[in-house]
Amino acid sequence: MSDTFHVSRSYGFERQLQVYMAGLQGQRPTIAVNPEALEQQASAAMTPEAQGYLGGMGSSMRANREAFQRWQIVPRMLRDVSQRDLSVEILGTRLPVPFLLAPIGVLSIIHPEAELAVARAAKALEIPMLLSTASSKNMEEVASAMGETPHWFQLYWSKDFDLTASLVQRAEQAGYQAIVVTLDTTLLGWRDQDIQNAYLPFLLGQGLGNYVSDPVFRRALPDPPEENPFAAVRHFVNIFTNPALTWNDLAFLRQHTKLPILLKGILHPDDARRALDSGIEGIVVSNHGGRQVDGAQAALDALPRVVDAVKGQVPVLFDSGIRRASDIFKALALGARAVLLGRPYVWGLAQGGEDGVSEVLQNFLADLDLTLALSGHTSYSALTRDALVREP
């Protein structure tokens, strides 16, 4: 990837030609362009345990996808789409593209370079990243890999409030620009495959990058984690999240950071209103990719009601089920300011580390640009529900 990359208005067309010309010379893409094929390829490259971990509850995952099929884009013609803008404005900054990489924990299961490979690919393409609390690499390393490209920190709110404050302060120090508190995972859902495979990655000591590097976490251990990893894992399991949290606790977070706070995992419009009352800066509509509640509402079905409840007072972001550019288009037309891209980039990571992630992201950018143009629009930030129809 050249270091002069910018999302240009002819990006989609250029990428098409580049991939096509390479194909003509016998170099067909090794990372599948089609998302279903990409997922299959990635599964073949992973152990059954890793496949199970990346999976979810069939029903909620299926619901996420089906919800996208109920909305269709109605392209408009003859509107001069020669100048296109993929950027969106959020929390006072302009993101070059209308998506961020979703926080996905324990990526060392997928590839040894884990979140660092992801960060390098993202930075080269100016794609923002949201780092998980449960990352394999620590937040300071990932922040320096991201440099000037926007990066936010996802918070799992520990039972140990001092640890929570420490994580947030480290994120602020390291240059993260927002804190995204995940609300839907105060416990882990009943995940058939992980339980069947006896595979909970953090029980194997993975995904503790931000914990073993934290002074508050270390102080609570009988021995240093390097000497006694088992004690570190046991402590982590005891304190990692806090099902006793309530709306009142958000004030604690506010006292410990100057960064904007977003809440991830909202589906009910009353929770969205409650979030506004608590003075937060943004919401992420999500059902955690169908990994937490079997039978949960599809995230896209929840989006319009949350957007209506929020009435533009704070940005509403969206994730769960984004597989190609048209999905991003639909979520933005339904009122999301930006989306989080989840599993697809991990499928790229599984097959080619940094290069694999980069391929997937470049294809997304191209498809985003072409989808916008061919639908008759010039800016993702200006899309409205008029761009879509709902299946009767």
Ligand X SMILES: Cc1cc2nc3c(=O)[nH]c(=O)nc-3n(C[C@H](O)[C@H](O)[C@H](O)COP(=O)(O)O)c2cc1C
286 to 305, contacts with ligand 173 by CB under 6 A? 288, 291
Asked if residue 330 binds ligand X (CB under 6 A), the reply is no
Residue choice 42, 46, 54, 272 for contact with ligand X (CB under 6 A): 54
Q: How far is the CB of 18 from ligand X (least distance, A)?
A: 27
Closer to ligand 173 by Cβ: residue 262 or 325: 262
Residue 320 binds to ligand X (criterion: CB under 6 A):
yes
For residue 269 the two structure tokens come to 């419009």
Residue closer to ligand X by CB (options 153, 380) is: 153
CB of 182 to ligand 173, least distance (A): 7
322 is in an annotated binding site: yes
Stretch that binds ligand X, among 119-127, 186-194, 308-316, 339-347 (CB under 6 A): 339-347
* Minimum CB distance to ligand 173 smaller for 194 or for 327: 194
In sequence order, the 6+-apart residues with CB closer than 8 A to the CB of 236 are 202, 208, 211, 217
* Amino acid occupying residue 125: L
CA angle 103, 92, 8 (to 5 degrees): 75
Of 101-120, binders to ligand 173 (CB under 6 A) are 105-106
Distance between CA atoms of 95 and 48, rounded to whole angstroms? 36
Q: For residues 111-130, which are near ligand X according to CB under 6 A?
A: none
- Per the annotation, does 261 bind a ligand? no
Q: CA 244, CA 186: separation in Å to the nearest integer?
A: 8
Q: 259: closest CA among 381, 167, 138?
A: 167
Residue 202 binds which entry of ligand 173, ligand X, none, with Cβ cut-offs from 5 to 8 Å by kind? ligand 173
**Does the annotation place 291 within a ligand binding site?**
yes
Which residues between 165 and 184 bind ligand X (CB under 6 A)?
182
Q: How far is the CB of 391 from ligand 173 (least distance, A)?
A: 30
Q: Is 53 in the site for ligand X (CB under 6 A)?
A: yes
Whose CA is closest to 172, among 196, 192, 155? 155
85/194 with CB nearer ligand 173: 194
Residue 266 or 372: the one with the smaller Cβ distance to ligand X is 266
**Can residue 282 be called a binding residue for ligand X (CB under 6 A)?**
no
Out of ligand X, ligand 173, none, what residue 264 binds, judged by CB under 5 to 8 A for its kind, is ligand X
Contact between 331 and ligand X (CB under 6 A)? no
Site for ligand 173 in 125-144 (CB under 6 A): 134
> Could you tell me which residues are annotated as the binding site for FMN?
103-105, 154, 182, 264, 286, 319-323, 342-343
Q: Under the rule (CB under 6 A), what is the footprint of ligand 173?
A: 105-106, 134, 185, 202, 207, 288, 291
> Could you tell me which residues are annotated as the binding site?
53, 103-105, 132, 154, 156, 182, 191, 264, 286, 288, 291, 319-323, 342-343
> Could you tell me which residues are annotated as the binding site for glyoxylate?
53, 132, 156, 191, 288, 291
